[in-house]
Amino acid sequence: MASGVGETLARPDLLRNLVWAELTARYKTTAFGVLWFIINPLLMMGILVVIFGRFVNLEIPNYPVFVLAALLPWTFFSMGITNCATSLSRAAGLVKRVRIPRAFVPLSALMAGLVHFLISLLMLFVLMAITRVRISPLIIFLPLVLVLQFAFLTGAGLLVASLNVLYRDVEHVLVPGLQAMFYFSPIFYPISYVPKVWLRWYLLNPMAGIIELYRNTLVAGWPASTMVAEMALATSVITLLAGLLVFRRLEPHFDDYI
Amino acid sequence: MTTSRPSDDLVVVEGVSKSYRVRSLQRQAMVENLLRWALGLDVRRQEIHALRDVSFRLSRGESLGIVGVNGSGKSTLLKIVAGIATPSSGTVELRARVSTQLALGAGFHPYLTGRENIFLQGSILGMTNREIRELMPTIIAFAGLEDAVDRQLWTYSLGMTARLGFAVAAHVPFELLLLDEALGAGDQAFRDRCTQRLESFRASGATMIIVSHGSENLRALCDRVMWMDHGEIRALGPTAEILDRYEDSVEGGGPGTNRGAQVRQGSKS
């Protein structure tokens, strides 16, 4: 029943098949398949560009690219967490009837999301090519940022997935919670707009730092700061540890509640 | 049976109890419990005891029947042995690859094809993709789904889906078979086929645990029978003896009337 790393390594084929099921089932049930992962952030980008590029003129150069570079990792995060929250109760057949590492259920949802995210990143590069925005030389650090976000996402995903089994309240808290995190992340405004005295508190939101790091590594002209990187690393690692711990504690009781 | 060499024991269940908290009642009592907790009194917990202090061993090649009325804890015990449910206290040692009836078709995905579902199901049951790939033609032939295997599962009839589930499970190597008769449906002919299949399993030396309301099948299939009553082992011994006593008790005024000298009685609080 352990959800340890050992068992994950022992059954890689199960995880692979679960991710594959998650991916293919989506393409077979929707007409546009992966396009939804591209259309959603594009729509959002359109809205933000009209409001903050035209109505409230923030005067940020290449605003569409600026916004999209942040919206894509945000979409990866918010869709992943929403998926994780209900993943175990949706997989009741697995949880109640077979013995598998139960962490595979939220984890496979996140890994399918990762595939979609990587595809949607291609769209950003297309937009950058069209609008002639240069790629940041820091792009070599992009894989590190990705690993960091996935670590945070795993922690947060395991947390909401396991807590939601015991208290379905979690999935209701999620909507306003994600909304607050969206506004308290440098998505449609640069992090430099955040007052210096607030910055440390602001960066307690792991997604704030992670999104800033994505923008630093993707788009030229947005230099990185070590303080942002440090805070993103610290908060993500803490979330990951908390997620692993809570999931391990609650995992033996899942079948009593689903 | 406890005298057999430890290496021969496939299952060792030691002092297993399982209780569930009744949450709706717990919520109603939340304020009261807060007060009690603050005053240092005992917090009132609404708990259902599904199993109390159950211990037994099962050695390789042995088959055990579990009988008892509804709610006596038979199925909970089976789930705990299978590793699906976790005991509140006590330990379960399992030294065998288990096959359970519960797992039949668990995790089937309606939008995946039959073939993709065989991969998914096979890996859920513990096979690697390589093993599944080798067995694929055999499984498809066994299920009789050569023409349908590349169609999505939702296009299958109920019977086809059931055949697919059974075909995968039947090809996963296992040492211990866990069955719950309450789950087995089907007509008399199908049940006869199942009984025949189980008898041949038994002849080949397979280890089994069969949960039942007390059917005659157990007489032919089991070496020992465990009689469960209110989550406790009421009696555990040779099949004929225990089943006779159990049947007398069920027919004559329900369980609890027949209390033989060797019957283990636990305290009921």
Picking from B85, B123, B152, the nearest residue to A14 by CB comes out as B123
Rounded mean pLDDT for each run of 10 residues along chain A, 258 residues in total = 55 93 82 77 92 90 95 95 94 88 94 92 94 94 97 97 90 94 96 95 97 97 94 98 94 84
Asked if A149 and A76 count as a contact pair (C-beta separation under 8 A), the reply is yes
Residues of the domain holding A253: 5-257
Whole-structure pTM over 0.90, yes or no?
Answer: no
Q: Which two tokens stand for residue A210?
A: 């992670």
Q: How confident is the model at residue B259 (pLDDT cuts 50, 70, 90)?
A: very low
Give pLDDT, residue B182. 61
Give pLDDT, residue B184. 57
Q: Which two tokens stand for residue A110?
A: 């996140």
Q: How confident is the model at residue B48 (pLDDT cuts 50, 70, 90)?
A: confident
What pLDDT digit, counting tens, does each position of B100-111 carry? Answer: 888 888 889 999
Give strand pairing partners of B21.
B47
Q: Which amino acid is at A228?
A: V
Has domain B102-170 been given CATH number 3.40.30.10? Answer: no
Q: Residue ranges per domain, chain B?
A: 6-96+175-251, 102-170
Q: What is the dihedral of CA B120, B126, B132, B134, to 10 degrees?
A: 180
Chain B residues in contact with chain A using a Cβ-Cβ cutoff of 8 Å: 20, 79, 82-86, 98, 100, 102-103, 106-109, 111-112, 116, 119-120, 123-129, 152
A94 vs B106: CB contact, 8 Å cut-off? Answer: yes
Rounded Cα–Cα distance for residues B74 and B71 (Å): 7
B119 vs A1: CB contact, 8 Å cut-off? Answer: no
B84 vs A98: CB contact, 8 Å cut-off? Answer: yes
B103 vs A97: CB contact, 8 Å cut-off? Answer: yes
Rounded Cα–Cα distance for residues A140 and A150 (Å): 17
Give pLDDT, residue B142. 87
What pLDDT digit, counting tens, does each position of B182-203 carry? Answer: 655 556 666 676 777 778 888 8
- The Cα of A17 is separated from the nearest Cα of chain B by a number of Å equal to 6
Give pLDDT, residue B185. 54
Taking contacts as CB-CB distances below 8 angstroms, the residues of chain A near B152 are 28
Asked if B92 and B112 count as a contact pair (C-beta separation under 8 A), the reply is no
In which residue are the tokens 């923030």 written?
Answer: A58
Picking from A11, A17, A255, the nearest residue to B120 by CB comes out as A17
Question: Which of A117-121, A213-217, B21-25, B88-92 shows the lowest mean pLDDT across its residues?
Answer: B21-25
Picking from A14, A16, A255, the nearest residue to B85 by CB comes out as A255
Give pLDDT, residue A81. 97
Three-class secondary structure of residue A8 per DSSP: helix
Reply yes or no on whether the pLDDT at B180 is more than 50.
Answer: yes
Rounded Cα–Cα distance for residues A91 and B234 (Å): 36
The CATH number given to B6-96+175-251 is 3.40.50.300
In which residue are the tokens 């939220």 written?
Answer: A106
Residue B237 is classified by DSSP as E
Q: How far is CA A130 from the centre of its chain?
A: 26
CB-based contacts of B163, cutoff 8 Å, min separation 6: B143, B144, B145
Taking contacts as CB-CB distances below 8 angstroms, the residues of chain A near B111 are 24-25, 28-29
Number of neighbours of residue B12 by Cβ within 10 angstroms:
17
Rounded Cα–Cα distance for residues A136 and B78 (Å): 59
A25 vs B103: CB contact, 8 Å cut-off? Answer: no
Rounded Cα–Cα distance for residues A61 and A45 (Å): 15
CB-based contacts of B256, cutoff 8 Å, min separation 6: B229, B249
Asked if A58 and A52 count as a contact pair (C-beta separation under 8 A), the reply is yes
Q: At what angle do helices A169-183 and A142-166 cross, to 10 degrees?
A: 150
Reply yes or no on whether the pLDDT at B80 is more than 60.
Answer: yes
Q: How confident is the model at residue B258 (pLDDT cuts 50, 70, 90)?
A: very low
ipTM: 0.85
Taking contacts as CB-CB distances below 8 angstroms, the residues of chain A near B119 are 17, 20
Going by DSSP bridges, is the β-strand pair B89-94/B9-21 parallel, antiparallel, or unpaired?
antiparallel
**What is the tally of structural domains in chain A?**
1
